[in-house]
Structure 1
């Protein structure tokens, strides 16, 4: 790490800690420059401030940047302006990491074309890519499930993995954690994160707070450990790797005060769902949330991480928990180096970044309070993570959702459909009947909960009690256990609980994000047939964080988030239509009813089991050889070279054409057609779908034309390195509703002037051939969900020049800017409906000159039904000068190359 020479605040300190010569940058040096003490700033703002102070270079980060943030006003935070943040490191997962590597490889080719050294395109900060999103639940309910799924994973993803192995040797500062290790966020929590980072500076060591951005929305999970970090789009992450600061307006910080403690039988999952509901209703998009109060001290790091993980679901940039004594205890418990742990505690106390019970509360923009004792057992669904339901209210809520109109997030069943059933006869001759609300998927999966020992042990204890009472899971329930890391398996084994989970069908199916991202795999053929023949509204219960329509499985319409113990309970029940107070799960040998309350483990049982099973040695054993522990990964051929050898016949990896398109994005847009008009809460799953690729979709037809058999289609996520597949998958989700084709479902639109209805991809190509620019219109919370860069890349390749929405989700708005697409926001109270847009109009978008952050932009509407055009104003969501530069250069990647050239 090069020593910065811009120490204008006299903040640089040289000292010695336990014989180590170290350097750090004193935050309190800014007090003399500040009218108020920085001690009153929220911890999250102070960590941002340290980053600016330490990396001030007079160019990308100036003295003025530091002073503006030092004067952060909780009641007017945007007055601090644009923050140029350069995080300590970047984490990637493979779904978003593969296209990032493809882009970097393409940039190396482009650098060569410009007669520049391609190795200048190289990460300047440490980058870790964890392969965790590619394993699919093909096999389940068998001891061989893990082996079968792992082998199929490598068969399907051989090309992608070879690309990543090339990247590992081609790029400096780039490591790959092989498949079969764990979920990126749990590996980050248990191993990669240091809380306090160190870099060599000659003979000395610079010490500073760890910080991270990641190409997955749930990077925020690391906030539970006191590490500043959040999810960004892949294109933003690439810019960070290449030395560009992440630019954003200084955020408001919402203080969330916790008091009391959780009641008996209530889990960290229930707390996370409750906080998600509260904050989503309050509105915290683009804001930091920082937790404080006496209740925080009652929470383990795993519980904090569970809450922090769901920051994207409650809409915040972060859900931050400052470092305290519990953080230090966790670092020791997970086997971190003891001297580094001591350095961490000393440094953070020196900097005023260590929270104690005596620490005065910071000044926040707003304060929300919750008594932990008020949290109740919950689920969330059936279509959004913020729609929390008390467990006791589930029967009534589910019946209501069956009857509610689709526009009200229901399923719109008529009275005669409510009681439809289908009977299946299995190979052994026994019959089972499924109906509306039958649970066909029960999955313990995803980073939110599989990282939390208390809920995982709770699931194991519930399984043990169920097996001992003779309870069994119905044959039509697809059960799976995908631990967040191998440490989970180790402590479940040490506790003696894994065999009981396996007896209920919860055999380990893989180490990665499975059902939560649509890698749920196929349902048994009998179940699929029954659902389709009777058009049944069946359910999935998963311990994940995402349950948007069409995400978990194409045939499963109702999806509920729940704690791992509740996943097991619903697997035993086999239906959502169970009243847990009155309906038994089954009967014992003496025909006595067995209720959920009879097998639910107590908090004391869970903690007692944890104390015996969870030891530091488990962490050190699993992570000692983490980069070479997978033999299938080690057997992959080594590929050398500074540039990548593209294979034109590949259907997984193709060189994208982003540098071939040179749109004049700084000019007005004339004669644009509306590609689609969407309502509220259109997610990145709708825009760039995850999960399986339907045979009859444009993407499926492309693969068939390249001799790929349907059984080898793999998932959209696994093919993110091929723009031909991804642009065809853009807006192709089977549950998307385009208001230009009323009553329709799926990725279709109406093409004008003919009025013909076509798949959105075909329509876009027809417009592209005519040279017609495109605009997308949307409602509130456009781009909610995962940080999918292809939700911006896909529209770019379809010819979308601007998106006009009532509001944007943070990461997706940033991704649009990163691809040179103009995000425009309706003025308050206005919408597509208020301006009576139907889709047959043409639009002119007139930009002011010069274009400034949050400028007013004029939209002229030309309707075939009137001779006189009408116009309205929208707000440009280019929020910072850096974003305007990206927009003028046609995106972040072109900006970086322009600087290089």
Structure 2
């Protein structure tokens, strides 16, 4: 960390527990006449401190500091350069980021520079949590068997990460089997207040981070400002580049009251998500305040903060208060650090207590926690909340909308039961959102205990799994005596990782999958996750519902979405009497008593005492050494990407885009899952064909997520989601398009290669919220490698828009209510995009000329969504990585 020049004279000293810390004082700004600082939202105080500390009159000016200090809720858009304290990665997004760093070292050598200049300047932690799959479940050996498969499948990736661990400074790897990155972040990595040594002095400042996973927002529950960015932006942040951003609006969300009997943190977060989606908070900060915070544990806050991507905000921030301190102490943080956190927060006006005046927000929203009721979300978006009492009717409507008037039945081969529309075939206790929250996991265990004692069993067609976010979960479930009951219902430990939530649900049993396919059945999954987008959970499951862990257990018992769990019997007990949900649902007092008796501070200290050690399989992996990576040309997991091939020391002039053809015309809410799926690779797809050509058996295909280190697989998988609907090819589903002008139907990848061979640039046309979902860099990288030069959409998700610019792709936004529909686009058109050569400026209008197949021409104006001056530079260089590489080389 290199602090700025302190032009405003705000550097002060704080003495805590016999130690002395320098810090950049917000009170000094108030004393200098910037009285608004006192009532700034806490999250903006964190940004303001960041500007103060890095003010250098180059990237951060005094004017920037004063503008934020004098922030008005309805102020003008203001661009700032923000430098997070650290970077968090998971392995799906982390592997390609490390691949890029390795490729940049090669490119640096080619440019005649020093490869050691390519090194993280900010601390980076990569947690391997995305690779374990639920191949085995429902047995005591499931965990051991899944881990064995994980290491066999991912040996090449893990060997590469082991090289990166030794090759790069400031880079740590948390080995497989430890937990989910966001839970590890909250329970161990995050410090709330960070320190660094500068010129012999210890400087204290807020802990902030960006992560290569959108749910990095979870750490905001611990008052650590953090959000997901693309891997591309994260790499730039690692290499010392500021994150360019606009000062956001801040929505204040006031919480009052306390959760009623029977309601969980999951029900609360689904309610919050629905409310904020309705309000519209894309690109904004959300900050929670009010007396209701006193009734929310740190885990409850983290659950709410975690789902910021689902409600669309950049982050959902909670302030530092007594609960923050209690949690830091309980999870075994250094006592001196905990002492510093409280003293620093109070000195900076970042401490919340009952007497604190409310901050001033752009707008506010309020919720009485006492009004929260049991809920789910589905069947395909996390913001589509359904009351538990309405879930049966909601699913019936889903069936009717799909043209199924009544549930269909198909006999399951080798079994004495039939599979029916609405049957639940996957129930998964999974995901950082909920497995980080002890109260809902204890509740799930208590539901299992009561159900087993009454003689209930899991339905035989249900694939059930328990994948905790950290090893601490295993400890407290065992101490509470609940593990045997979860095991009895098939919720055996399957691994420590994201599993079903990211599409690693593993295959359904062959007879179940065959029955689904034979009847084209609409079957369901119920998971305690944060994502339920189409095609994500399982290729065989069309309806996916998010629910609390205890409800996940309940649906494993019911086995269908066609029951109303609030009124219908969930099963028959061993005494022959019907059993209802109320009979097995624990009271809040029961949950709290079990929690207090089972969860101890020593569990955190023990589990995180050797967090970087890893299992025997990890330590046994052999890898290469050296400052540049020795690429294996035969690897199907890790390949040197072509981003820097032939790169000159100086960028060329930017040019207009002429005679471009549309590769796909897409609808609203196209997610990064649609653009770059993380799940299974179909044998008859371009990605599957590539692997077969390289002698990889279908059983060893693994997933697109696991193969993100190989651009050959990933560009073939771009737009390959089985649920993608390209309006150029009506009546089809999956990664297909129509090649023009011949009108021939083919895979999108194959068409892109034909266009590339003839030198035809490509565009994507889309509706609203293009790129919503995970912060998936490959959704932008794959788009670039297919030859796409511009994406024209009605609106963009924040991270994906940034990623497109970061890869040198032009994002354009339709204006004045115009859309692909109002223009009547069908894919036979030719596009010219002009105005780029004349001088690119942030958010300028560019001219799009559309020439139709019949020769008619229409000209429209589109908003260029290159939003900042830094982004103009990135685009001019062909992307953020060439920009950084040239900067470091010079």
CA displacement, residues 635-684 of structure 1 (integer Å, 9 cap, x when unaligned) = 11143100000001110000000112769672110000011100000000
Q: Does 1:159 align with 2:156?
A: yes
Aligned to 1:363: 360
CA distance in 2, matches of 1:490, 1:226: 26
Does the 8 Å contact 2:667/2:768 carry over to 1?
yes
CA distance in 2, matches of 1:637, 1:581: 55
SS of equivalent to 2:811: strand
Q: Does 1:228 align with 2:213?
A: no
Partner residue of 1:708 out of 696, 712, 716: 696
CA distance in 1, matches of 2:14, 2:450: 57
CA distance in 2, matches of 1:16, 1:684: 47
Does the 8 Å contact 1:479/1:506 carry over to 2?
yes
Instruction: Specify whether residues 665 and 382 from structure 1 end up closer, same or farther in structure 2 by C-alpha distance, changes over 3 A only.
Output: farther
SS of equivalent to 1:718: coil
Aligned to 2:756: 768
Partner residue of 1:779 out of 767, 770, 774: 767
SS of equivalent to 1:112: helix
CA distance in 2, matches of 1:611, 1:788: 39
Superposition pairs for residues 99-498 of structure 1, below 5 Å?
99-404=96-401, 412-415=402-405, 418-426=406-414, 431-498=416-483
Aligned to 2:591: 606
Q: Does 1:858 align with 2:847?
A: yes
**TM-score if structure 1 supplies the norm length?**
0.97
Instruction: Specify whether residues 34 and 731 from structure 1 end up closer, same or farther in structure 2 by C-alpha distance, changes over 3 A only.
Output: farther
Aligned to 1:652: 637
CA distance in 1, matches of 2:765, 2:573: 57
SS of equivalent to 1:198: strand
Does the 8 Å contact 2:174/2:614 carry over to 1?
no
CA distance in 2, matches of 1:453, 1:698: 43
* Offset, 1:441: 0.3
Does the 8 Å contact 1:736/1:747 carry over to 2?
yes
Does the 8 Å contact 1:77/1:251 carry over to 2?
no
CA distance in 2, matches of 1:414, 1:262: 38
Does the 8 Å contact 2:834/2:848 carry over to 1?
yes
Aligned to 1:617: 602
* Offset, 1:746: 0.8
SS of equivalent to 2:204: strand
* Offset, 1:829: 1.1
Superposition pairs for residues 837-852 of structure 1, below 5 Å?
837-847=825-835, 849-852=838-841
Aligned to 2:665: 677
Does the 8 Å contact 1:34/1:71 carry over to 2?
no
Aligned to 1:408: none
Does the 8 Å contact 1:665/1:820 carry over to 2?
no
CA distance in 1, matches of 2:718, 2:388: 36
CA displacement, residues 172-195 of structure 1 (integer Å, 9 cap, x when unaligned) = 000000000000000000000000
Aligned to 1:38: 37
Superposition pairs for residues 676-825 of structure 1, below 5 Å?
676-825=664-813
Aligned to 2:91: 94
Which ranges of structure 1 fall in alignment gaps of 5 or more residues?
405-411
* Offset, 1:828: 3.5
Aligned to 1:407: none
* Offset, 1:424: 2.2
* Offset, 1:588: 2.1
CA distance in 1, matches of 2:855, 2:757: 27
* Offset, 1:592: 1.4
SS of equivalent to 2:263: coil
CA distance in 1, matches of 2:508, 2:161: 31
CA distance in 2, matches of 1:64, 1:696: 58
CA distance in 2, matches of 1:843, 1:99: 32
Instruction: Specify whether residues 73 and 467 from structure 1 end up closer, same or farther in structure 2 by C-alpha distance, changes over 3 A only.
Output: same
CA distance in 1, matches of 2:816, 2:255: 33
Instruction: Specify whether residues 368 and 5 from structure 1 end up closer, same or farther in structure 2 by C-alpha distance, changes over 3 A only.
Output: closer
CA distance in 2, matches of 1:419, 1:544: 27
Does the 8 Å contact 1:273/1:378 carry over to 2?
yes
Task: After superposing the two structures, state which structure 1 stretch, 685-694 or 23-32, moved more.
Answer: 23-32
Which ranges of structure 2 fall in alignment gaps of 5 or more residues?
none
Q: Does 1:883 align with 2:871?
A: yes
* Offset, 1:704: 0.3
CA distance in 2, matches of 1:61, 1:116: 28
SS of equivalent to 1:516: helix
CA RMSD of aligned residues (A): 1.2
CA distance in 2, matches of 1:383, 1:458: 25
Task: After superposing the two structures, state which structure 1 stretch, 63-72 or 469-478, moved more.
Answer: 63-72
SS of equivalent to 2:820: coil
CA distance in 2, matches of 1:542, 1:35: 48
* Offset, 1:34: 4.7
Q: Does 1:73 align with 2:72?
A: yes
* Offset, 1:33: 4.8
SS of equivalent to 2:332: coil
SS of equivalent to 2:357: coil
CA distance in 2, matches of 1:871, 1:610: 64
Does the 8 Å contact 1:665/1:890 carry over to 2?
no
Aligned to 1:527: 512
Instruction: Specify whether residues 71 and 655 from structure 1 end up closer, same or farther in structure 2 by C-alpha distance, changes over 3 A only.
Output: same
Instruction: Specify whether residues 746 and 664 from structure 1 end up closer, same or farther in structure 2 by C-alpha distance, changes over 3 A only.
Output: farther
Does the 8 Å contact 1:817/1:878 carry over to 2?
yes
CA displacement, residues 829-863 of structure 1 (integer Å, 9 cap, x when unaligned) = 11011112111010000125322111011100111
Does the 8 Å contact 2:87/2:209 carry over to 1?
yes
When the two structures are aligned, how many residues end up with a matched partner?
885
SS of equivalent to 1:128: strand
- Runs of 4+ residues over 3 Å off in structure 1: 32-36, 661-665
* Offset, 1:136: 0.3
CA distance in 1, matches of 2:728, 2:284: 34
Does the 8 Å contact 1:34/1:70 carry over to 2?
no
CA distance in 2, matches of 1:639, 1:192: 28
Aligned to 2:57: 58
* Offset, 1:590: 2.5
